[in-house]
């Protein structure tokens, strides 16, 4: 053997060894003890974060002052609250003897820290937190929020149920208590605590043994990050994970709807949770011809909503009762009208408005393949009434530029969100005075007037009445085209029991493995 | 030899400078306001005008472009490639976190390419114009024409979904790397195999091989001992050229197999318009590529006495 | 020289097969409207995700569109895009290379330094970055491919121009007072273009792979355009439930690329050694 050959053989052997060593290092043993649940999730839990965590750990590790569930504000860390000073001040009274998972007592100072941090980081977009003038600790179990003039009322109260208003101990950040600093290890009062975290790979949660409520049955939850939806499904099939969970927060990542039926027939448990979140078509309603209510109505009549839900194998419901599904504010109580497919009516309306043919630029983001297919379907449906739709599938930056410049005709958009957000989101989409309105869906002075009253009143009956008017007005003005009611899904192995959704979020406390 | 290497290294300086200008300018060909988009991702909602302004201020996006470039370059020279807007981690750290995964995949697919291609090339050349030759040439052509993203999907479909033999995605044990490495390795086979065959054929017609044959040496011995050594030399260059192709293919293959490597992170960052990451990664990949080529060139000159001689004569 | 290549090619069975396939595909592309049974864009939600049958020989996709018709139309898109990209790359590469070679000096130095820098990048990585940042569309993809692809041609042309430029007929043209541009366009480029055309043909397979690959990543053709890479991307979510959606478009890509590679290989073998040398550089 020549020297050169020896060298090359040597190199080859080294390469093989090197690669097997590297593989050895990255192999992570995951021994499933009996009460461990492994979840496949589309993104990192972000538990060590400069600003905010993902909603999943927020829901598991932290708690909020109140919860907003089934259309009602419910006590959580706060047992009661008073609205004072012409609803410019909200005072919360806390439960006593609650401890953080590290054993330290929960007090009003921790609440103050949480909100001071939100303000310091300017992390309060689209909620009413930015209108908080000051936070006043009255005693260790009482805190007062003082609001600036203007927007206060019921909507401000519901905002305390928002994810990012979850209460965190000051030791969660480093240096401790510094309101501008990174979260290093979130310490909360919730049923779980973070045990181990490897960014973009996995997070291990363990039961908080000193939780003040009913303790979870599981010992441990491993959340594995699998960004690609199809790979998540494959992971479930191969038993790598016990459960895959959709999220809709900060972008969305869903189990492909067309795989739900096959998964169900393979024996997996498919759990659906419909939300007060509706996918809509948004008009460029200030621009011709979309400023004409007849044209907007024509589009509403042109859409065949059953075909839309057929696109998702009927796993989502078509928007048959208007803006929101039953989880939306006051929807259960009031009857809301909706448009049904009628090509002739649509054509007549369009003709009356003076258009035989129309061209429309439908702008969409290409990230979500379902949305792309939806737009192709809309394109085909609108063609039937003589509207030629051009699809512009844009990448994030170009998309927001077109949106901001108002350089589009139609856009697929969504309103609402998780239930706890339904007030702020509705306000943000339809009221130009709302902080979020830069991304509104439709506005009209009459409409925003009604809405402003609807979200402010502390009186349930009054709210219901105002919302009824709001929905009716929106229908008359055909402000948007509601397409379908969004839902999130959990697909789990049969052996996983006790899965349920509380409000719009999955709750793992009652889960056990058979 | 030393002079040659020094010269090559010096030549790298202007190239690296040019490469950094190019990487930097990526930010400025983009439509839309990167600050706004990044904020929207970060905040999971719409940023306000003040937030956008504060962000621009914080990241120095309001300064004139040459100043931004100078600052960027200065930082890079000190090993600071900036911070990912998406993860808020240093870009270099993000790269290094993902590099091992990509390297393992790179090496393994390269090994697969070579172990399939070289024996096939030798057989093809030795049994020139036989059925075996035709068949392996056809297979090589087939491999070169197979889109690796399609091959990847087919591999998942058969080995992971239907047969359930191997995991379809992700990062973990040895089994996880097999499918992506095959998807990546196959397309590389063709060019290596073809060159191996061609260069061995050429060598087999040279005088000294004829002499060896005339001397009555056994054919196997001739091939192994005399011909192969020389025929392998051009193959080394092709493996070098192949690196460019391989790095590019890795982006696609990593995306399909959810392989947590550099390529997938780059694609995610492109979709998220995480400019510091795009700029930094493109630059590092270019650097890696330049050095890989340099090493191939140097080993080539080292391996091939003819070139060494040429070089000495030029001096 | 051209005749010789054609004669050589005729002897090469694989090259002939390649040419036949390409001709068939060109026929499909041109007569797509007459050859497909359905409108490739026609949505029919009642017929979604059908498996291949008599009515729909290759089945239907998730919007009930006929897959065969989409694939036939896809031939148009893919071949047109690849040809367009190749042409743009050629035009840019040849022009820039000719300018560098003809003028020499500082111009040449400057251009060649840019070439060196671009060659220092794995080209597809840069293409992906540029295409992604410009925003996904087939046109932007072609622009990105042109921005990174011209360098190879420039190098070859520059070399050829350098060898042609001192020839007598150029001197004669210059003596007659012809302008630089005229000389480049009229005398130099026609003389050095053949290797470029050959190389472009050889590269065609690779170009198609890049376009479909980037479209697969969502950086190229956009819906509802029936482009094979984008169709494959659509189909991948139906891998388990409707595998035909991902098998047929992939197969088409492979057949086209294979045909161009057969032809390219034949061309390579048929080339005279001089040309081969040019290419090796």
How does pLDDT run across A431-470, given as a tens digit for each residue?
Answer: 888 876 667 899 999 999 999 899 888 888 999 999 999 9
Task: Give the mean model confidence (pLDDT) for residues B126-144.
Answer: 83
What are the structure tokens assigned to C40, written together? 């490739």
Query: Residue C188's Cα: distance from chain center in Å?
Result: 24
Q: Positive or negative, the Cα torsion across C248, C249, C252, C257?
A: negative
- What subunits make at least 3 CB pairs under 8 angstroms with A? B, C
Q: Which C residues 185-244 touch A at CB under 8 Å?
A: 218, 222-224, 233-234, 236-241
**Pick among A238, A248, A398, A413 to test the B interface (most B CBs inside 10 A):** A238
Q: Which residue of B has its CA nearest to A122?
A: B51
pLDDT(A3) > 60: no
Does B170 contact A226 at a Cβ distance shorter than 8 Å? yes
The answer to whether residues A154 and A283 belong to one domain is no
Does A238 contact B272 at a Cβ distance shorter than 8 Å? no
Kindly state whether residue C49 falls inside one of the protein's structural domains.
no
pLDDT in tens, A82-93: 988 888 899 999
Which residue is associated with the tokens 């046109």? C139
**What percent of chain A clears pLDDT 90, i.e. is strictly above it?**
49
Kindly state whether residue A221 falls inside one of the protein's structural domains.
no
CB contact set of B305 (below 8 Å; sequence gap of 6+): none
List Cα–Cα distances, C239 to A269, B186, C45, in angstroms.
21, 22, 20
- Judge contact between C244 and C231, C-beta under 8 A: no
The closest CB to that of C258, out of B26, B145, B243, belongs to B145
Residues of C in contact with A373 (CB under 8 A): 62-63, 223, 234
3-class DSSP state of C75:
helix
Kindly state whether residue A375 falls inside one of the protein's structural domains.
yes
**Pick among B11, B31, B153, B154 to test the C interface (most C CBs inside 10 A):** B153
Length of chain A: 514
Q: State how far residue C234 is from chain B, nearest Cα, in angstroms.
A: 12
Which of A283, A286, A234 shows the shortest CA–CA distance to A255?
A: A234
Residues of A in contact with C48 (CB under 8 A): 310-311
Does C224 contact A379 at a Cβ distance shorter than 8 Å? yes
Per-residue confidence (pLDDT) for residue A360, from 0 to 100: 94
CB contact set of B285 (below 8 Å; sequence gap of 6+): B247, B262, B266, C121, C122, C125
Report pTM. 0.80
Question: What number of other Cβ atoms are within 10 A of residue B283's Cβ?
Answer: 23
pLDDT(C273) > 60: no
- Judge contact between C256 and C78, C-beta under 8 A: yes
Least confident residue range of B18-32, B111-125, C213-227: B18-32
* Domain region containing C72: 2-35+64-280
Kindly state whether B170 is in contact with chain A, defined as any CB-CB distance less than 8 angstroms: yes
The closest CB to that of B31, out of A16, A51, A401, belongs to A401
The DSSP bridge partners found for residue B90 are: B83
Task: Give the mean model confidence (pLDDT) for residues C214-242.
Answer: 86
- Judge contact between B246 and B296, C-beta under 8 A: no
- Looking up residue C11, the CATH number of its domain turns out to be 1.10.3720.10
Q: How many domains does chain C have?
A: 1
Does A259 contact C237 at a Cβ distance shorter than 8 Å? yes
Q: Positive or negative, the Cα torsion across C210, C212, C215, C220?
A: positive
* Domain region containing A103: 63-172
* DSSP assigned state of A159: G
Per-residue confidence (pLDDT) for residue B191, from 0 to 100: 78
Kindly state whether B152 is in contact with chain A, defined as any CB-CB distance less than 8 angstroms: no
pLDDT in tens, B242-270: 777 788 888 888 888 888 889 988 988 88
The closest CB to that of B149, out of C133, C213, C247, belongs to C213
Specify which of A77-91, B176-190, B297-311 reaches the highest per-range mean pLDDT. A77-91
B91-272: what fold?
MetI-like fold (1.10.3720)
Name the burial class of residue B66, with classes exposed (0-12), middle (13-18) and buried (19+) by CB atoms within 10 angstroms of its CB. Answer: exposed
**In chain B, where the domains are located:** 91-272
What are the structure tokens assigned to A382, written together? 């609108």
What are the structure tokens assigned to A50, written together? 């400069």
Name the burial class of residue A473, with classes exposed (0-12), middle (13-18) and buried (19+) by CB atoms within 10 angstroms of its CB. Answer: middle
The answer to whether residues A458 and A336 belong to one domain is yes
- Judge contact between C180 and C102, C-beta under 8 A: yes
Q: How many domains does chain A have?
A: 2
Q: Which residue of A has its CA nearest to B110?
A: A15
Kindly state whether A384 is in contact with chain C, defined as any CB-CB distance less than 8 angstroms: no
ipTM above 0.95, yes or no: no
CA distance A293 to A7: 79
Per-residue confidence (pLDDT) for residue C272, from 0 to 100: 53
Which residue is associated with the tokens 């509706």? A278
Per-residue confidence (pLDDT) for residue A503, from 0 to 100: 85
CA distance A502 to A69: 8
The closest CB to that of C133, out of B18, B19, B30, belongs to B30
Does C213 contact B146 at a Cβ distance shorter than 8 Å? no
- The larger pLDDT score, comparing residue B237 to residue A56, is at A56
Residues of A in contact with C233 (CB under 8 A): 369
Does A259 contact C240 at a Cβ distance shorter than 8 Å? yes
Task: Give the mean model confidence (pLDDT) for residues A377-406.
Answer: 84
Per-residue confidence (pLDDT) for residue C46, from 0 to 100: 85
**What percent of chain B clears pLDDT 70, i.e. is strictly above it?**
87
Least confident residue range of A10-19, A303-312, C239-248: A10-19
Specify which of A384-398, A499-513, B5-19 reaches the highest per-range mean pLDDT. A499-513
Q: Mean pLDDT, chain A, as a whole number? A: 86
Kindly state whether residue A329 falls inside one of the protein's structural domains.
yes
Which residue is associated with the tokens 């181990």? A196
Q: State how far residue B263 is from chain C, nearest Cα, in angstroms.
A: 9
pLDDT in tens, A151-163: 668 988 998 998 8
Mode of pairing for the β-strands spanning A358-365 and A410-416: parallel
The closest CB to that of C132, out of B150, B249, B271, belongs to B271
Kindly state whether residue C45 falls inside one of the protein's structural domains.
no
Does C126 contact B282 at a Cβ distance shorter than 8 Å? yes
- Judge contact between A266 and A492, C-beta under 8 A: no
Per-residue confidence (pLDDT) for residue B67, from 0 to 100: 86
- Looking up residue A447, the CATH number of its domain turns out to be 3.10.105.10
CA distance C269 to C14: 12
- The larger pLDDT score, comparing residue C175 to residue A274, is at A274
> Which residues in C have their CB inside 8 Å of a CB on B?
14, 113-114, 116-118, 120-126, 128-130, 132-135, 205, 209, 212-213, 216-218, 229, 232, 236, 239-240, 243, 246-247, 250, 253-254, 257-258, 261-262, 265
Q: Mean pLDDT, chain C, as a whole number? A: 84
Does B150 contact C258 at a Cβ distance shorter than 8 Å? no
- Looking up residue A142, the CATH number of its domain turns out to be 3.40.190.10
Q: Which residue of A has its CA nearest to B108?
A: A19
Kindly state whether residue A89 falls inside one of the protein's structural domains.
yes
Task: Give the mean model confidence (pLDDT) for residues A394-400.
Answer: 71
CA distance A40 to A479: 38
pLDDT(C276) > 60: no
Single out the residue in A172, A198, A219 at which a domain terminates.
A172
Q: Which B residues 49-88 touch A at CB under 8 Å?
A: 50-51, 54, 87-88
Per-residue confidence (pLDDT) for residue C24, from 0 to 100: 93
Q: Which A residues 228-257 touch C at CB under 8 Å?
A: 229-230, 256
CB contact set of C182 (below 8 Å; sequence gap of 6+): C173
Does B22 contact C129 at a Cβ distance shorter than 8 Å? no
- The larger pLDDT score, comparing residue A327 to residue B243, is at A327
The closest CB to that of A395, out of C45, C48, C136, belongs to C136
HSE toward the beta carbon, residue A197, CA cutoff 13 A: 16
Which of C156, C268, A5, C202 shows the shortest CA–CA distance to B198?
A: C268
Per-residue confidence (pLDDT) for residue C176, from 0 to 100: 81
- Judge contact between B249 and B190, C-beta under 8 A: no
Which of A81, A187, A92 shows the shortest CA–CA distance to A141?
A: A92
- What subunits make at least 3 CB pairs under 8 angstroms with B? A, C
The closest CB to that of C120, out of B19, B144, B266, belongs to B19
CB contact set of C125 (below 8 Å; sequence gap of 6+): B247, B248, B251, B266, B282, B285, B286
3-class DSSP state of A134:
strand
């Amino acid at each position: 053997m020549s020297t050169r050959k020896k060298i090359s053989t040597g190199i080859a052997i080294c390469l093989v060894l090197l690669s097997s060593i590297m593989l050895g290092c990255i192999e992570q043993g995951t021994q499933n003890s009996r009460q461990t649940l492994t979840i496949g999730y589309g993104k990192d839990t972000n538990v060590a974060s400069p600003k905010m965590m993902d909603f999943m750990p927020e829901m598991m590790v932290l708690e909020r002052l109140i919860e907003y569930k089934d259309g009602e504000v419910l006590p959580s860390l706060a047992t009661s609250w008073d609205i004072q000073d012409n609803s410019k001040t909200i005072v919360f009274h806390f439960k006593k003897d609650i401890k953080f998972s590290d054993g330290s007592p929960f007090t009003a100072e921790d609440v103050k820290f949480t909100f001071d941090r939100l303000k310091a980081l300017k992390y309060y977009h689209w909620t009413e937190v930015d209108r908080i003038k000051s936070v006043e600790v009255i005693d260790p179990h009482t805190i007062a929020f003082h609001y600036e003039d203007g927007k206060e009322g019921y909507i401000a109260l519901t905002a305390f149920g928002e994810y990012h208003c979850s209460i965190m101990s000051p030791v969660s950040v480093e240096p401790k208590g510094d309101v501008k600093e990174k979260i290093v290890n979130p310490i909360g009062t919730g049923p779980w605590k973070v045990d181990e975290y490897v960014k973009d790979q996995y997070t291990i949660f363990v039961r908080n043994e000193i939780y003040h409520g009913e303790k979870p049955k599981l010992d441990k939850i491993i959340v594995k990050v699998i960004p690609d939806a199809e790979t998540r499904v494959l992971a479930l099939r191969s038993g790598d994970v016990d459960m895959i969970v959709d999220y809709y927060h900060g972008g969305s990542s869903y189990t492909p709807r067309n795989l739900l039926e096959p998964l169900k027939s393979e024996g997996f448990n498919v759990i659906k949770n419909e939300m007060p979140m509706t996918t809509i078509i948004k008009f460029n309603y200030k621009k011709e011809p979309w400023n004409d209510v007849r044209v907007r109505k024509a589009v509403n009549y042109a859409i065949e909503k059953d075909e839309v839900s057929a696109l998702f194998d009927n796993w989502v419901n078509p928007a048959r009762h208007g803006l929101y599904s039953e989880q939306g504010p006051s929807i259960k109580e009031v009857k809301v009208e909706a448009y049904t497919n009628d090509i002739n009516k649509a054509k007549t309306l369009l003709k009356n408005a003076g258009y035989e043919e129309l061209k429309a630029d439908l702008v969409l983001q290409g990230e979500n393949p379902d949305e792309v297919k939806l737009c192709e379907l809309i394109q085909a449906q609108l063609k039937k009434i003589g509207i030629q739709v051009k699809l512009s599938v844009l990448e994030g930056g170009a998309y927001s530029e077109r949106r901001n410049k108002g350089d589009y005709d139609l856009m697929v958009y969504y309103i609402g969100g998780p239930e706890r957000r339904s007030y702020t989101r509705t306000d943000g989409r339809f009221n130009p005075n709302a902080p979020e309105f830069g991304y509104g869906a439709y506005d009209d002075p009459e409409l925003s007037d009604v809405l402003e009253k609807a979200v402010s009143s502390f009186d349930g009956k009054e709210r219901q009445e105002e919302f009824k008017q709001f929905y009716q007005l929106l229908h008359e003005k055909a402000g948007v085209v509601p397409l379908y009611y969004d839902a999130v899904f959990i697909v789990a192995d049969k052996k996983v029991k006790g899965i349920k959704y509380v409000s719009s979020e999955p709750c793992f406390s009652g889960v056990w493995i058979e | 030899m030393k002079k040659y290497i020094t010269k090559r290294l010096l030549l790298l300086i202007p190239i690296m400078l040019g490469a950094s200008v190019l990487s930097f300018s990526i930010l400025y060909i983009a439509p839309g306001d990167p600050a706004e988009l990044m904020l929207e991702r970060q905040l999971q909602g719409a940023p306000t005008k003040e937030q956008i302004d504060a962000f621009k201020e914080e990241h120095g996006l309001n300064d004139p472009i040459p100043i931004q470039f100078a600052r960027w370059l200065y930082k890079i020279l000190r090993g600071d490639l900036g911070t990912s807007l998406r993860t808020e981690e240093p870009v270099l750290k993000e790269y290094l976190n993902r590099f091992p995964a990509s390297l393992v995949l790179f090496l393994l697919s390269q090994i697969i390419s070579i172990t399939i291609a070289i024996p096939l090339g030798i057989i093809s050349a030795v049994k020139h114009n036989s059925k075996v030759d035709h068949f392996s040439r056809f297979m090589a052509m087939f491999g070169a024409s197979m889109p690796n993203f399609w091959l990847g999907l087919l591999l998942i479909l058969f080995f992971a979904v239907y047969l359930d033999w191997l995991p379809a995605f992700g990062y973990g044990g040895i089994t996880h790397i097999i499918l992506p490495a095959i998807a990546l390795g196959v397309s590389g086979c063709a060019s290596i195999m073809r060159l191996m065959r061609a260069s061995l054929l050429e060598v087999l017609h040279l005088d000294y091989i004829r002499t060896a044959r005339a001397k009555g040496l056994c054919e196997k011995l001739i091939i192994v001992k005399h011909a192969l050594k020389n025929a392998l030399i051009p193959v080394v260059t092709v493996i070098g050229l192949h690196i460019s192709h391989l790095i590019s293919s890795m982006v696609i293959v990593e995306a399909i197999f959810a392989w947590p490597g550099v390529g997938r992170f780059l694609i995610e960052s492109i979709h998220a318009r995480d400019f510091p990451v795009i700029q930094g990664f493109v630059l590092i990949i270019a650097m890696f590529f330049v050095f890989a080529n340099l090493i191939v060139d140097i080993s080539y000159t080292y391996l091939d006495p003819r070139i060494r001689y040429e070089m000495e004569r030029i001096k | 020289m051209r005749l010789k290549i054609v004669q050589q090619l005729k002897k090469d069975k694989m090259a002939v097969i390649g040419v036949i396939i390409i001709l068939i595909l060109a026929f499909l592309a041109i007569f797509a409207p007459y050859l497909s049974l359905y409108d490739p864009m026609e949505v029919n939600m009642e017929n979604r995700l059908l498996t291949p049958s008599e009515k729909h020989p290759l089945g239907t996709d998730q919007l009930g569109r006929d897959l065969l018709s989409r694939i036939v139309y896809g031939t148009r898109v893919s071949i047109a895009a690849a040809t367009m990209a190749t042409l743009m790359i050629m035009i840019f590469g040849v022009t820039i290379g000719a300018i560098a070679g003809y003028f020499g000096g500082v111009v040449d130095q400057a251009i060649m330094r840019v070439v060196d820098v671009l060659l220092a990048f794995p080209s597809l990585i840069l293409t992906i970055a540029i295409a992604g940042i410009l925003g996904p569309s087939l046109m932007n993809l072609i622009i990105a491919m042109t921005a990174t692809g011209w360098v190879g041609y420039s190098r070859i042309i520059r070399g050829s121009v350098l060898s042609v430029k001192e020839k007598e007929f150029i001197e004669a043209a210059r003596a007659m007072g012809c302008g630089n541009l005229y000389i480049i366009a009229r005398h130099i480029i026609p003389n050095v273009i053949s290797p470029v055309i050959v190389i472009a043909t050889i590269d065609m397979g690779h170009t198609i792979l890049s376009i479909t690959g980037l479209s697969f990543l969502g950086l190229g053709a956009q819906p509802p355009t029936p482009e094979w890479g984008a169709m494959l991307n659509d189909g991948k979510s139906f891998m388990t439930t409707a595998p035909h959606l991902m098998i047929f478009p992939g197969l088409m890509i492979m057949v086209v690329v294979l045909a161009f590679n057969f032809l390219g290989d034949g061309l390579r073998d048929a080339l005279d050694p001089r040309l081969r040398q040019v290419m090796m550089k």
